[in-house]
Amino acid sequence: MEDTGRDDEWLSTWIGGSSPDRITVAGRDLPGDIMGQMSLTELAYLLITHRPPTPGERRLLDAVLVSLADHGLTPSALAARLTFTGAPEAVQGAVAAGLLGAGSVFLGPAGDTAQFLSDALGAEAGTRGGGEGDGDEGGGNGDDGDAPALRRLALEAVTACRRSGRRVPGLGHPVHRVEDPRTPRLYELATEEGLLGAHMRLLEEVRDVHEEVSGRGLPINGAGAAGAALADMAVPPTSVRGFVLIARTAGLVAHLAEEVEHPIGMRLWQEVEHRASTAGHGDPTPSTR
Amino acid sequence: MEDTGRDDEWLSTWIGGSSPDRITVAGRDLPGDIMGQMSLTELAYLLITHRPPTPGERRLLDAVLVSLADHGLTPSALAARLTFTGAPEAVQGAVAAGLLGAGSVFLGPAGDTAQFLSDALGAEAGTRGGGEGDGDEGGGNGDDGDAPALRRLALEAVTACRRSGRRVPGLGHPVHRVEDPRTPRLYELATEEGLLGAHMRLLEEVRDVHEEVSGRGLPINGAGAAGAALADMAVPPTSVRGFVLIARTAGLVAHLAEEVEHPIGMRLWQEVEHRASTAGHGDPTPSTR
Amino acid sequence: MEDTGRDDEWLSTWIGGSSPDRITVAGRDLPGDIMGQMSLTELAYLLITHRPPTPGERRLLDAVLVSLADHGLTPSALAARLTFTGAPEAVQGAVAAGLLGAGSVFLGPAGDTAQFLSDALGAEAGTRGGGEGDGDEGGGNGDDGDAPALRRLALEAVTACRRSGRRVPGLGHPVHRVEDPRTPRLYELATEEGLLGAHMRLLEEVRDVHEEVSGRGLPINGAGAAGAALADMAVPPTSVRGFVLIARTAGLVAHLAEEVEHPIGMRLWQEVEHRASTAGHGDPTPSTR
Amino acid sequence: MEDTGRDDEWLSTWIGGSSPDRITVAGRDLPGDIMGQMSLTELAYLLITHRPPTPGERRLLDAVLVSLADHGLTPSALAARLTFTGAPEAVQGAVAAGLLGAGSVFLGPAGDTAQFLSDALGAEAGTRGGGEGDGDEGGGNGDDGDAPALRRLALEAVTACRRSGRRVPGLGHPVHRVEDPRTPRLYELATEEGLLGAHMRLLEEVRDVHEEVSGRGLPINGAGAAGAALADMAVPPTSVRGFVLIARTAGLVAHLAEEVEHPIGMRLWQEVEHRASTAGHGDPTPSTR
């Protein structure tokens, strides 16, 4: 190719590249500097934030990821298993089908919460990424002057949300109505590692304000706490949903490994077909459209 | 639901489940026994093989995963970025599009190599999973009596493969024609951790035999070495392609984070459109169908 | 399965079902009443609206579908072809990858326009579905008293849209800046078939009002006109994006048939890789994150 | 872009293209020559085979497509509906999830049958595309000398298939054990339109030979008959699976339209979760991996 002189800067990527005798990932030599040195979690964080995590961040990142990897026979896991039933030779398709359900209802709330909190904290706080464990800024320092400020931001954000008819993200769970067991554990780990930052603390204020304003107490859900923790570790809110998809892929791959040994898809289909044909009298919406 | 008495054993899963005050993953309490204790890599391995990895296995598993996470602007990364161009609000769709290219040509060879080696080693060896770090069986012990046996298996497998017109999986790479830089590093790490098992050793014999038989020296590629290493750590061959998809998801998510800051998709489209309309005289296949 | 007495009404579907000697689709006998009698377009419309189209509707539906089937090497077509490069054995994955780019930027605007117009016309008009070819209601009758009412609705809708910072859907096109050639043809066909209804007419008012209010003339784009035409034929706005995906599937399948004979994916990858590695100095975003 | 002089022939496409005032599809003017003139089925066929169908072919093509559009709550439809439950804002993802199940088990057999018959008929017959309604070649002419030749080809193909342990494609159906009601209708329509070609006739011989050789009578299934009919109309076997995906998209879109009005996904999940947690004693595979 004779592309001398063309400006192809726009077509370059920092993420990875290779030449006949070398593979580079994140500007580092893959075999020498990454293989045997970094975990997948560390590499994912490095690729997204452009710096490796500290040991404390690594522990909290893994806690976030394992907390979202799987929850049993969810719609997402069922979609993956049913897809595998039809195309067992293309496992990438079954995994993709499972990921496609990670939208506004499931998993998406992690990113929505990160964005909501980041917007409430304002542009400059978003850039700082909240507390980063250094103990001397707005994030994790327990400064008395800070809590009232967060409370005010929470009140503004919750009020604006309710006024426009949207739900406050990060609160409530259809199964864990009193407390989502992942939430206190994430707060505990963030505290242990000195990583309890502005986003996680604001989310607690949001929960309290929401209860006062609505008269209805809703717990912080695991997805919301995860999104806040990632935002506190400077993962951009627009990348939070993507980041947690890595964990979900692990869960889906496990379901497909189990589906090989202990298939559910075919029998679920047969049961549904049988019940549908027995119950259905032709038209589930007889008098409409 | 009143389903008392029905046998729903077929509908249960070991992977995960939840009740109002508890979430269980792999039969363990998620907040207490997994969060803060296990990395995503360890959990993925546990979910697929039903036991946690040893520290040595964990290091080799992470080396395998980071070696396959990304290779720059591959067809898979480009497909994800182009999908994001059209649907930036549904990042799960862009990740899914990227994963869908992980078929027989890219990434799939990891699983194909694992299956090929496992079949060659025979059913009983497959069950043993090769060397598991214990140093006293066929796998990593350097027993002299072993090598001729592996060589014989390699010869049979390569011959059968060539006779049926199929390519021997795990060998050759379009870019790394002399040596894939990931391969010696994976062998080095496996050796360091006492995990050089029957699959990895057989793959070396396969490479040598292939060169002798075909007269053409092809290096072991990174995907092949990865598949052999996973098979040596008892990941079922049918789960190898899935397992490496976890790593690929991390790479794709990084590309999409970069696409937000430094978009390629829209401009690539415009250049292609421009060149296609300038060059194309209507029909690229004028005289055929 | 012994589920006697259970109420499985919720699990039934009107769309299709089968028993050992019979297949029913849309409540009709598939071989006798549909095969040989209905086109795919007619069946799709029947399945979504629960009635077959009239001959005029069938012609306009096909015009809408063929207008959106393909536009050359779009991001969606490129994503499909690049996915096929990696997984040629799973053509369903390549088609799925192409469809996943049909989001808010491409193709999605057809449904957004239908929803926007339907909301502006109000609930009762949405139910009526605008003009249905009967010539005696608000839709296609050219009643003078109607235009001022539509103009008022357009003004309200455009104003509300601009106030909330959203773009008015259905207007403007990056390539067809003066006129999208599909739009006048759709209006012509709708008029010929007596199907020019309230949604299509409102969209013309929206275009005029938008120009007056913004000082910027934008043509009705083909996706917007298509969405309006489908809404006039009583396709629910929530099903418009789905309906046009049928057409897009046809275009993608054609690209993949061409990719078999005249491959683009592999060579496009190689060119991109080459240019990226030549131009890239390691980090496209050196001073940020 | 300054790419003068570069040879970009490889980057052109015949399928579609656009300039500011013109859109071309299949080398024709889209608004003038296609919209209002051709159905989606006709355009899809034109794009894949590079010629428009005859009226008889159009009827048979639509019969094939409507025969494969939907069969009720199949794994594919369930996967689409469950995906919609999690991401209702991204209907393209739900459609994609449904398509991903169209692999070797479901829908794929149409293409497998076309390939099997085409291979059996040999390269030159595959090029000719069997009988194309012209009545003077091997396909549909009822030439007495033809049947023994087809029978010999069937015997060779069935024997080779059985010897290598593969199933003969196109035969047998889990529900329609005696006769698939779509099959006689497709043969009847092909006969009516003078399109009963070599592939469809060979498939009948394959069925008869299979019964004689195996002692087990299996009917020609609908997917197999559809694949044979498409091959007789010169659709390349590699495009058959793609072609029928167009029809499947229509069925999936209908399921998602119904899911909006009459949701199944959420309740199906809840029932599965409930039954799984009641029945599951933690490990479905207690004594194994």
C60, containing H or E segment: helix C55-68
Full strand arrangement of the beta sheet holding B22-25: B16-19, B22-25, B28-29
Residue range A252-259: mean pLDDT, rounded: 98
Nearest to B168 by CA among B212, B131, B132, B138: B212
ipTM value: 0.90
Tens of pLDDT, residue by residue over C192-245, are: 999 999 999 999 999 999 999 999 999 999 999 999 999 999 999 999 999 999
Work out the minimum CA distance from B289 to partner chain C, whole angstroms. 10
- Residues 58-77 on D with a CB inside 8 Å of A are 72-76
Do D14 and B284 count as a contact with CB atoms less than 8 A apart? yes
Q: Please give the Cα distance from C273 to B75 (Å, whole number).
A: 10
Nearest to B184 by CA among A17, A19, A36: A36
Q: Please give the Cα distance from D26 to D24 (Å, whole number).
A: 7
Work out the minimum CA distance from B273 to partner chain A, whole angstroms. 16
CA distances from D171 to C146, D111, D158, D226 (A): 60, 13, 11, 12
Residue range C123-134: mean pLDDT, rounded: 41
Position A208: which residue type? D
Which of A101, A266, A269 lies at the smallest CB-CB distance from D86? A101
pLDDT of residue C1: 40
pLDDT of residue A269: 94
Can you say how many angstroms the Cα of residue C183 is from the centroid of all Cα atoms in its chain? 14
Mutate which of B21, B246, B272 to disrupt the A interface (most A C-beta within 10 Å)?
B246
The subunits that touch chain A, with at least 3 C-beta pairs less than 8 Å apart, are B, C, D
Share of chain A above pLDDT 90, in %: 77
Instruction: Answer whether D223's CB lies under 8 Å from D180's CB.
Output: no
Can you say how many angstroms the Cα of residue A97 is from the centroid of all Cα atoms in its chain? 17
Residue D174 pLDDT class (50, 70, 90 cuts): confident
Full strand arrangement of the beta sheet holding A28-29: A16-19, A22-25, A28-29
**Which residues from B are below 8 Å from A238, CB to CB?**
91, 257, 260
Tens of pLDDT, residue by residue over D47-72, are: 999 999 999 999 999 999 999 999 89
Residue A281 has pLDDT above 80, yes or no: no
Work out the minimum CA distance from A15 to partner chain D, whole angstroms. 26
The subunits that touch chain C, with at least 3 C-beta pairs less than 8 Å apart, are A, B, D
Residue range D207-236: mean pLDDT, rounded: 97
- Residues 15-54 on B with a CB inside 8 Å of A are 15-23, 25, 30-32, 34-36, 38-41, 43-44, 47-48
Do A72 and B96 count as a contact with CB atoms less than 8 A apart? no
Helix (H, G, I), strand (E, B) or coil at D97: helix
- Give the residue on C whose Cα is nearest the Cα of D242: C253
B105's CB contacts (< 8 A; 6+ apart) are: C85, C86, C87, C88
pLDDT of residue D52: 98
Share of chain C above pLDDT 70, in %: 87
Asked if A163 is an interface residue toward chain C (Cβ–Cβ < 8 A), one would say no
| Long-range contacts, stretch C27-32, CB < 8 angstroms, 24+ apart | C27/A282, C27/A283, C30/D66, C30/D67, C30/D181, C30/D182, C31/D67, C31/D181, C31/D182, C31/D184, C31/D185, C32/D185
Residue D132 has pLDDT above 90, yes or no: no
Report the sign of the C-alpha dihedral through residues C137, C143, C148, C154, in that order.
Answer: positive
Eight-class DSSP state of A32:
I
Instruction: Answer whether D94's CB lies under 8 Å from D256's CB.
Output: yes
Share of chain D above pLDDT 70, in %: 87
**Which residues from D are below 8 Å from A73, CB to CB?**
269, 272-273, 276
**How many other C-beta atoms can be found within 10 angstroms of the C-beta atom of residue D153?**
21
Which of B34, B67, B246 lies at the smallest CB-CB distance from A66? B34
- Residues 86-115 on B with a CB inside 8 Å of D are 87, 89-90, 92-93, 96, 100
List the alpha helices (DSSP H) in chain A. Answer: 40-49, 55-68, 75-86, 91-99, 108-128, 146-163, 182-192, 198-214, 222-232, 237-261, 265-279
What are the beta bridge partners of residue D25?
Answer: D16, D28
Work out the minimum CA distance from B5 to partner chain A, whole angstroms. 16
pLDDT of residue C280: 58
Tens of pLDDT, residue by residue over C167-183, are: 999 999 988 999 999 99
Instruction: Answer whether C90's CB lies under 8 Å from C219's CB.
Output: no
Q: pLDDT tens string for chain B (289 positions)? A: 444 456 889 999 999 999 899 999 999 999 999 999 999 999 999 999 999 999 999 999 999 999 999 989 999 999 999 999 999 999 999 999 999 999 998 888 999 999 999 999 984 344 444 444 443 443 433 444 478 899 999 999 999 999 988 999 999 998 899 999 999 999 999 999 999 999 999 999 999 999 999 999 999 999 999 999 999 999 999 999 999 999 999 999 999 999 999 999 999 999 999 899 887 544 444 333 3
Structure tokens at D38: 């051709």
Position B149: which residue type? A
Which of B73, B262, B289 lies at the smallest CB-CB distance from C273? B73
Tens of pLDDT, residue by residue over D242-255, are: 999 999 999 999 99
pLDDT of residue D266: 94
Mutate which of D83, D266, D267, D289 to disrupt the A interface (most A C-beta within 10 Å)?
D83
pLDDT of residue A278: 83
Residue C42 dihedral angles phi and psi, to the nearest 5°: -60, -45
Residue A254 pLDDT class (50, 70, 90 cuts): very high
- Residues 216-245 on B with a CB inside 8 Å of A are 236, 238-239, 241-243, 245
Instruction: Answer whether D157's CB lies under 8 Å from D206's CB.
Output: yes
Residue C60 dihedral angles phi and psi, to the nearest 5°: -70, -40
Residue D94 has pLDDT above 90, yes or no: yes
Mutate which of C10, C22, C42, C66 to disrupt the D interface (most D C-beta within 10 Å)?
C66
Residue range D247-276: mean pLDDT, rounded: 95
C78, containing H or E segment: helix C75-86
**Which residues from C are below 8 Å from D72, CB to CB?**
13, 15-18
Residue A149 has pLDDT above 70, yes or no: yes
Higher pLDDT, residue B223 or D282? B223
Residue D6 pLDDT class (50, 70, 90 cuts): low
What are the beta bridge partners of residue B19?
Answer: B22
Q: What is the 3-state secondary structure (H, E, C) of B82-120?
A: HHHHHCCCCHHHHHHHHHCCCCCCCCHHHHHHHHHHHHH
**Which residues from A are below 8 Å from D68, CB to CB?**
none
Residue range D97-106: mean pLDDT, rounded: 93
- Residues 252-281 on D with a CB inside 8 Å of C are 252-258, 260, 262, 264, 267-268
Do C254 and D15 count as a contact with CB atoms less than 8 A apart? yes
Structure tokens at C243: 């309906």
Residue B18 dihedral angles phi and psi, to the nearest 5°: -150, 155
* Residue given tokens 């599809």 in the structure block: D25
Work out the minimum CA distance from C189 to partner chain B, whole angstroms. 27
- Give the residue on A whose Cα is nearest the Cα of B22: A181
Residue range C110-135: mean pLDDT, rounded: 69
- Residues 188-207 on C with a CB inside 8 Å of D are 189
Residue D135 pLDDT class (50, 70, 90 cuts): very low
Q: Please give the Cα distance from B75 to B70 (Å, whole number).
A: 11
Tens of pLDDT, residue by residue over C142-157, are: 444 478 899 999 999 9
**Which residues from D are below 8 Å from B272, CB to CB?**
11
Structure tokens at D276: 């799984």
Nearest to D209 by CA among D164, D147, D139, D129: D147
Do A31 and B182 count as a contact with CB atoms less than 8 A apart? yes
- Give the residue on B whose Cα is nearest the Cα of C103: B87
D248, containing H or E segment: helix D237-261
**Which residues from D are below 8 Å from B127, CB to CB?**
none
C132's CB contacts (< 8 A; 6+ apart) are: C139, C195, C197, C232, C233, C234
Residue A135 has pLDDT above 70, yes or no: no
Q: Please give the Cα distance from A21 to B214 (Å, whole number).
A: 24
A252's CB contacts (< 8 A; 6+ apart) are: A76, A77, A80, A94, A95, A98, A99, B242
Q: Please give the Cα distance from D149 to D153 (Å, whole number).
A: 6
pLDDT of residue D279: 77
- Give the residue on C whose Cα is nearest the Cα of D11: C264
User: Highest mean pLDDT: which of A70-74, C134-138, C278-282?
Assistant: A70-74
Residue A239 pLDDT class (50, 70, 90 cuts): very high
Eight-class DSSP state of B32:
I
